[in-house]
Amino acid sequence: MTDPVKNKNLQKGKTNNPNGRPKGVPNKRTLEARLIFDELEFDPIRKAITKLKEVQDPELYITSCIKLAKYYYPELKSIDHKIDPSELSDTELLEETERLLREARGVQS
């Protein structure tokens, strides 16, 4: 059996399932967790700040909220670029900035 990791036909960032979940769309479990949090009106960060003064062990409470926050807030990725902004016109700089933002959001141009 061929190891899919070593398969030369697979390219990083490409899928063999074009009908799969689009980039940027949360999986079903994450979506379910967000809906539950929304129903409970639970915002982990806001809750941690509010409860900080009330809880006897704030470190435990904050740690718990931070662990839950990953199910509510998307993980952001850094963007690497090799452009010297001083070499671009204002229009080119604006266009490149918009392109990078679309790329970061997973939107195709």
Q: What pLDDT was estimated at residue 57?
A: 82
Q: What is the mean pLDDT of residues 25-42?
A: 85
* Contacts (Cβ under 8 Å, ≥6 apart) of 75: none
Q: How do residues 38-88 score in pLDDT, each as one tens digit?
A: 898 888 777 777 777 687 887 887 787 787 777 777 777 776 767 787 888
Q: Which residue has the tokens 């909220």?
A: 65
Residue 41 and residue 50 in contact, taking contact as beta carbons nearer than 8 Å: no
Two structure tokens written together for 12: 């990083």
Per-residue pLDDT tens for 6-27? 556 667 766 677 787 777 777 8
State yes or no: pLDDT of 2 exceeds 80: no
